[in-house]
Amino acid sequence: MGVSTSNMLISLALLLLLSGGVFADFAHKSLSVAANVNKDGSVNVEERLEIVLGGQSSRDLYEATRAAYSDLATWKNRTGLSEMRHHVSRANLDIENLRITPQAVERCNSFLGTCYATIVLDYLVPSSQNGSGLIKVFRYKPRTARYSLAQDALSFEQTKTGDLVLPKGTTISITIPTSSEKIYFSSQPQNINDTLLFRYDSQSNRRYYTGAERTFSWGGDALSKFEFTFEVESSLESEVLDFFRDFQQSVVAFFLGPEGLAALFILAAGAASAYYFNRLSAK
């Protein structure tokens, strides 16, 4: 009874806010996109969209929506913000386990009548045979893989010359495995300032980052022909374990597939025949 009454009150509040002539004002303040790259090429992404709530009606609508809804479509419709979305394009990649977590209202200014709130989106870009739609993986040596960011998978404005344009107040950060080496970025991250941490490689004509940092951030600027690559060399033990794991998965997938039953039947028939002939030979 208590839950039902609470839901009715929330629905009534939303109805009054949306149809009673009350004006809600939401504004985009900042956006941070954090991508954590895994060794298989999958990527865990967390986006934090900070918004400004203008007036009590905006706060009431935010609180009522926060209590009742956790889907992206509703939040985009209620706030009217174009940035209320995930910032990787679904044209060439999949997104799994999408969650919307609106945070509590904070930093209210009674004089200005404004408050701030943050809406968190987190999701997984799963791996595929060659990484994921966001990170491509090229295994060009037996135990070495090269990872590269697919720039066109990022849902930001791009110029005709291939520059990635980040809106004001927007930050992108990418975290890579600790064992990464040959780290290259065409635009220097904001959090890397020491030029002594770079080594020029004449063979590739590139300056590789050699420091210990593994999280790199860019923001509020046009990233000229943005490119980001790194390599990971696996140990021999890891390669062997990966081989047997992949082999096991392939065998299981085969027997669970459409040809699996036929294969099991043939194996069973072969085993039965061998047993029968052995019995005859024994006699």
Residue 235 is predicted with a pLDDT of 65
Beta carbons of 104 and 120 less than 8 angstroms apart: no
**Tally of CA atoms within 13 A in the half-sphere of 200 that contains its CB:** 3
Q: Which of 215, 233, 251 is the last residue of a domain?
A: 233
Q: What is the pLDDT of residue 29?
A: 95
* 168 shares its domain with 30: yes
Distance CA 49, CA 3 (A): 30
> Do 53 and 93 fall into the same domain?
yes
| Pick from 256, 218, 246: nearest CA to 127 | 246
- With beta carbons less than 8 A apart as the criterion, state whether 101 and 119 touch: yes
Please report, in angstroms and rounded to a whole number, the separation of the first and last CA atoms in the chain.
79
Judgement on whether residues 94 and 51 belong to the same structural domain of the protein: yes
Q: Tell whether 175 and 221 lie within a shared domain.
A: yes
pLDDT for res 20: 42
> Based on the domain organization, do 157 and 181 belong to the same domain?
yes
Q: Exposed, middle or buried, 118 (CB in 10 Å: 0-12/13-18/19+)?
A: middle
**One domain for residues 256 and 131:** no
| Tens-binned pLDDT, residue by residue, of the chain (283 aa) | 455 555 554 454 444 444 444 557 999 999 999 999 999 999 999 999 999 999 999 999 999 999 999 999 999 999 999 999 999 988 878 899 999 999 999 999 988 899 999 999 999 999 877 667 899 999 888 889 999 998 888 888 888 887 888 988 999 999 999 999 999 999 999 999 998 999 999 999 999 999 999 999 999 778 888 899 999 998 655 555 555 555 565 666 555 666 666 666 676 666 666 666 666 666 5
Q: Under 8 Å CB-to-CB from 266, ≥6 apart: which residues?
A: none
Q: How many CA atoms lie within 13 A of 148 on its CB side?
A: 12
Phi, psi of 139 (to 5 degrees): -90, 90
Structural domain range at position 97 = 2-233
Quick one: 176 and 244 in the same domain? Answer: no
Could you tell me if 159 and 195 lie in one domain?
yes
Domain final residue pick, 233, 254, 273: 233
The pLDDT score that the predictor gives to residue 19 is: 44
List strands edge to edge, sheet with 164-165: 157-158, 164-165, 222-223
Are 243 and 199 in the same domain?
Answer: no
d(CA 43, CA 96): 10
DSSP the chain: -HHHHHHHHHHHHHHHHHHSS---EEEEEEEEEEEEE-TTS-EEEEEEEEEEEESHHHHHHHHHHHHH---HHHHHHHH--TT-S-SB-SSS---EEEEEEEPPPEEEETTTTEEEEEEEEEEEE--BTTB-SSEEEE--SSSEEEEEE-GGGB-SEE-TTS-EEPPTTEEEEEE--TT-EEEEESS--TT---GGGEEEETTTTEEEE-SS--EEEEESSEETT--EEEEEEPPHHHHHHHHHHHHHHHHHHHHHSTTHHHHHHHHHHHHHHHHHHHHHHH-
Same domain, 204 and 77: yes
Do 40 and 162 lie in one domain? The reply is: yes
**Do 242 and 129 sit in the same domain of this protein?**
no
Structural domains counted in the chain:
2
